[in-house]
Chains A and B, each alone.
Chain A
Amino acid sequence: MADHGHNVRVTINGEAHEGHVEPRLLLSDFIRHEAGLTGTHVGCEHGVCGACTVLLDGAPVRSCLMFAVQADGASVETVESLANGETLHPLQEAFRREHGLQCGYCTPGILMTLKPFLAANPAPSDADIRQALSGHLCRCTGYQQIVAAVRRAAAMLRGEEP
């Protein structure tokens, strides 16, 4: 059979990942099944739920709505990049303290949206936080404890809380 593969090289969390992939391979599948980074989750594969959100050259994208070949040469950050060894990122720490997750399936995507959000909005209002979360579906929490977690993470990142 003819080879329809393309060589792609994507830097994920600072590490180069190369693959020879079909053009139809989704970026989410490349990250999860080629690079083996399964922290990024897939919830709908039609761009609504936000579970698969990663940072592509610093901006949040739905990795289920991109092909891996479109990310050739790009730099991707996933949830695995957040913690520093055993030390959780302030966002992760705040989610744990505020019970901002239950099943945890939607959480990685939410964290990846929030990282640049808090960088750009260090002191967001609850309305700002809810707007930022509105691209994500969570079926467990009802969002309230997520909002509290984002508030706490913002304070931690501002150095106002340990």
Chain B
Amino acid sequence: MLAALTAFGITSVARLITGARALWLGCTPQPVQRLYYANHSSHGDFVLIWASLPQELRRHTRPVAGADYWQKPGIRQFLINRVFNGVLIDRQHSEAQSDPLQPIHAALEQGDSLIFFPEGTRNLGDEPLLAFKSGLFHLASAHPEVELIPVWIANLNRVMPKGRALPLPLLCTLSFGEPLQRLPDDSKHAFLERARLALLALAPKES
């Protein structure tokens, strides 16, 4: 009950502040298993994607987030576990032999859709998009049935700049692109570059 109310509150506030306009350019919101991968510049990124999905899709779409940030007792833990039903991964690789992607594989095997940030960390520089970590490639190879949807989040880095508490009420747009094609003989490098360019193609042109 509290979790549902919090979810409603957070999505309402996110929409109110940012206008969160979803442009379904290359696909439509459908209940198929998907991995939405997006550019990452703010802690609000996954909230905005999550808020812009229709409610029945939202229930089965889980954000992938860093355990180091979210696994702190109190409000953060409540939000990520109870409200967002997030998949937490250990970005520090504390145990060398274990696969840090294991929780994500488990979630995909359950049939959940995911929100994933392939840059691995927040991009705080002037570069529009960092190089992708290899995670997206391993997930895509292990789960060929899951649709890979690039989502460009425009402007949220201006709404919530790093280290600032007060969000600015600027408008954000989310562009959902076409599912990324799977090519059988893709190398890891070629795949990641193709995925990155597909995402970058959704970014608004800067003049």
On whether the two chains bind one another, the answer is no
